[in-house]
Chains A and B, each alone.
Chain A
Amino acid sequence: MSQLPILPLLPLLFGAVLAVLAGLWRPVAAQVVAVAATGLALVFSVAGLLAVVPDGRITYEMGGWPPPIGIEYVLDPLSAFMVTIVALIGLLICIYPVDAAFDLSPPKGAPLYPLALLLLTGLTGVMLSGDLFHLFVMLEIYAIATYGLVSLGGDRGAFAALRYLLLGTVGSGLYLLGVGFLYFSTGTLNMADMAATLPAISDNPAVLGAMGLIVIGLALKMALFPLHIWLPDAHSFSPPGVAALLAAVQVKAAAYALVRILYDVLGPAYLDTGGLPVSDALVWFGLAGVIVGSVLAIRQIDIKRMLAYSTVAQLGYIGVGIGLATPLALIGALLHVLNHALMKSGLFLVAGGIIQRTHLKEIPRFAGLGKRMPWTMAGFALAALSMVGIPPLAGFWSKFYLVWGAVEVGNWVVAVVIALSSLLTLVYFLRLFEQIFVREPQEAVVDEATEPSGRVVATVWVLGIAIVLVGLFTATLVGEVIAPIADRMLG
């Protein structure tokens, strides 16, 4: 099965082309193609994950050109773990009904599913690529698909997409410059080859410059505070299904690239003694992002905007976990990538369901929704409680590992801030809980509202059950999959 590294990508790529053709015939056919493509991608990525866990590595040479000349696709536990998350969330978004995912009536003939599949293709490519320049191309493929998807959110969406395009391209330009420095220092673009060459030239200032450029570029793509300014607009003005995709998996691709390049290509040696305080910067900016994102989320009226600022805060946790550079903290960061994908896409899908039935976006007008949409809101409660970090739900465990990792290296500030930030998260979800579950319906639209369509409830519940299962079986997941990754990267 040496084709496994390329297999998750192919159905998505060809599905994108097929979905264009199918959409010309019948809009619903495009969705069927998208579900089939993402379902196939999920099957292949799970097969890939099972094949490489706990310590395997399968490579695939594109076009038969052996590395370092050719482009290499690498499936190892980290990339298989990430690709599985992408395929799972992608499948659920494609099953989610089109009127809720892309607002009530998307512009006629808009290529919704081709763009969504292209986005997933780019993300999968980033995660599987073993070549730094190929990673850049995939970064731009998913970015271009994202600009198109964000612009589906009407006038504001188009403006947010343009602003995101300007900043996103600056970010990938910085990454490309960094890759240029690395190429001219080592003469190779292949990650494994470069990792073997770099320790010999560890005093080369060009490599340090490259590290700085790549970290800043990817932090911009990942929306790490203070480079998050494009995220709230792009995530809150895009349609709910798009916002779920972006928050759950799109920003994680850059986080993955950061982990891969910092730990696998450059190696821990650069992180500790390289002369650039990259890991400290990630920790402190991540912490600042946690606080600022949570405080701004408390102030928001619009539910999607609140979730977008909450994403800024949650990405801060991932930044902290990457920066602490201990196995426990990295386990926390990777676990949070999974947990945040499940929780935040669930919350955005609930928001999409509310908008589908009531057209309401403002939290103060949600009063009494819990009595009209009990199933959807039960799923919402699961995801929200997990965000706050109530054990034994999944969200508790990633924070637990982060705090444990921080205590292990004696960084008490991180431990205290992460623990206290749960309170901030509680504050902004308590407002929602009060409106939804405690108050009586006040608005006529709420009073007449019914449960959203069956597929909305089903997808929300799949995510809710996944949150519970991940929470209950965290020990197995960490022991079998995530701990070996962290040990290999930092061992």
Chain B
Amino acid sequence: MIELLEGRYVYLLVLVLLAIGLYGVLVKTNLVKKVIGLTIYSTAIYLFFIEGSVVEGGTAPVILDGNSDPSLYVDPVPHLLILTAIVVGVGVVGVALALLVRLYRIHGTFDESVIAERLSGREPGPVDPDDPDAVARGEHA
């Protein structure tokens, strides 16, 4: 087991980060902490790709002196993929933050269970001014 991890301790870090991120998403009740967990989880995946591309002693993949031996260069493809994945991830986190702002404006809390309880209809909550249905039904806080 120890030999397996020797020289691959970054993968261990990736695993730990994945676990922390998933814990945040699945267990925390504060919605902001869930989103933070999500970013940790995505970052772990980015790290995994970057670590996988490493070539010991390799350099940037610009072919010099006509020497195209692949063992001299770091694999550029994962870098490219992760650049794209980071952009995608920023988009997702942006949408998540926008939804958080909207929920916080209505409910004044980030606690998932409180919001869920209010939305379940068992306890009257504040009316969403953006929700035409609720306004039409004449619900009031």
Give the B-binding residues of A (Cβ under 8 A). 103-107, 133, 136-137, 140, 143-144, 147-148, 151, 154-156, 158-159, 161-162, 165-167, 169-170, 173, 176-177, 180, 183-184, 189, 359
Contacts and interface: CB of A to CB of B under 8 A. Distances in A.
Nearest to A105: B132
Contact of B52 (A137, A151, A184): A184
A161 B119 CA distance: 13
B13 to A, nearest CB: 15
A156 B130 contact: no
Given A140-B91, A155-B103, 18 more contacts: A105-B132, A107-B130, A147-B99, A148-B95, A151-B102, A154-B131, A155-B131, A158-B99, A158-B128, A159-B103, A165-B99, A166-B96, A169-B41, A170-B25, A180-B48, A183-B78, A189-B77, A359-B133
16 contacts: A133-B81, A147-B99, A151-B102, A154-B128, A154-B133, A154-B134, A158-B102, A158-B103, A166-B25, A166-B34, A166-B38, A169-B41, A170-B41, A173-B42, A183-B52, A184-B52
A231 to B, nearest CB: 16
A380 B116 CA distance: 32
Contacts of A176: 45, 85
Which 8 A-B pairs rank lowest in CB-CB distance, beginning with the nearest?
A154-B131, A155-B128, A162-B99, A140-B88, A105-B132, A184-B52, A147-B95, A156-B119
B100 interface: yes
Contacts of B49: 180
B31 interface: yes
Contact of B84 (A103, A107, A137, A183): A137
Given A155-B128, A166-B34, A144 B41 contact: no
Given A155-B119, A180-B52, A359 B99 contact: no
Nearest to A170: B25
Contacts of B115: 159
Given A147-B99, A177-B45, A180-B48, A169 B38 contact: yes
Interface of B: 22, 25, 31, 34-35, 38, 41-42, 45, 48-49, 52, 77-78, 81, 84-85, 88, 91-92, 95-96, 99-100, 102-103, 106, 115-116, 119, 128, 130-134, 136
A281 B132 CA distance: 43
Contacts of A105: 132
Given A133-B81, A155-B131, A176-B45, A359 B34 contact: no
A173 B134 contact: no
Nearest to B94: A144
A144 B91 contact: yes
B91 A359 contact: no
Given A165-B92, A176-B85, A170 B106 contact: no
Contact of A177 (B34, B48, B103): B48
Contacts of B136: 104, 359
B42 A161 contact: no
Contacts of B99: 147, 151, 158, 161-162, 165
Chain A contact surface mostly: helix
A143 B88 CA distance: 11
Contacts of A155: 103, 106, 119, 128, 130-131, 134
A368 B55 CA distance: 72
Given A155-B106, A184-B52, A103 B38 contact: no
Contacts of A103: 132-133
A359 B106 CA distance: 24
Nearest to B126: A155
A107 B99 CA distance: 15
Contacts of A169: 38, 41-42, 92
A373 B103 CA distance: 37
A48 B133 CA distance: 42
Contacts of A173: 41-42, 45
Contacts of A107: 130
Contacts of A136: 85, 88
A354 to B, nearest CB: 14
A76 B54 CA distance: 36
Contacts of B41: 169-170, 173
A359 B133 CA distance: 9
Nearest to B116: A159
Contact of A137 (B31, B88, B102): B88
A143 B96 CA distance: 12
B86 to A, nearest CB: 12
A144 B49 CA distance: 23
A285 B96 CA distance: 30
A169 B34 CA distance: 12
Contacts of B91: 140, 144
Contacts of A154: 128, 130-134
A151 B34 CA distance: 18
A334 B103 CA distance: 39
B131 A104 contact: no
Contacts of A144: 91-92, 95
A177 to B, nearest CB: 6
A484 to B, nearest CB: 34
